[in-house]
Amino acid sequence: MAYKIVIDSGHGGSDPGATYNGRQEKDDNLRLAMAVGNILSQNGVDVAYTRTSDMYQTPFEKAQIANEADGDFFISFHRNSSPRANQYSGVETLLYDLSGDKLEMAENINGALGELGFHNLGVHARPGLVVLRKTRMPALLIETGFINTEEDNARFDQQFDEIAQAIAYAILGSLEEEEIQEESAETSPLYRVQVGLFREKQNADNLLYELQDMGYPAFLLQEDGFYKVQVGAFRILSNAIKMEQRLRQDGFSTWITTR
């Protein structure tokens, strides 16, 4: 299944968003949104943008653009702020409510950013936000660190490529798992490369984020009391074998499964 994701850069134009020492949130949002969108496009996802330049849109206009694009997910990029400089630090993701595929994707994104050193402030429901309330698709709003916290700004600048990759691969892994679940009722088998089997979710998460950080479309399945870390879902066995060979060359122990 081909997915379409609508990427939104929060604020823009006459609305700078949060500011700090000359730094404007709208610029960080656009830079990160375009970087993540580019990675998703390179991995076969159809990406639409609410804006690709410094222009103003109301939140209602952003939601309208997303609805007209008829995407499968809407992801809005922001930076957080606080009343006092260096008061808070970390990443959080906001949703209309804490349910469905969007919740799993949000948790995957936060977890991946946590692996890069950000404090994970969790996933929270914000039903009052227009871009979450008015979009007709699962919607997420990512707050990638506090713009008025030196630690978060340093990480945002120094690890920018890693941050974009972590978010993109967390999204890809979530889409991969959703596709497997949708196709599980079909008779033809899907070959997957399993890299780990754990009883403790934290151990599975550690391996998941390591794989995603290396560029693998890894995902997590919970089944029969275990957490399974898998990569890919292939209808042709030879493609699964090629993926297994890549993983083994990178030092992972693997086996091919249809579950």
Residues labelled catalytic: 143
Q: Coil, strand or helix: which one is 83?
A: coil
Q: Is the dihedral of CA 193, 249, 217, 199 positive or negative?
A: positive
Kindly report the number of other CB atoms within 10 A of residue 131's CB atom: 25
Compute φ and ψ for 196, nearest 5 degrees: -160, 155
Query: Token pair for residue 87?
Result: 């008061």
In contact, 53 and 62? CB cutoff 8 Å: no
- Give the strand pairing for 4-9 and 120-125: unpaired
Instruction: Look up tokens 């994707």; give the residue.
Output: 105
Radius of gyration of the chain (CA): 18
Nearest residue to 141 (alpha-carbon basis) of 172, 97, 178:
97
In contact, 67 and 74? CB cutoff 8 Å: no
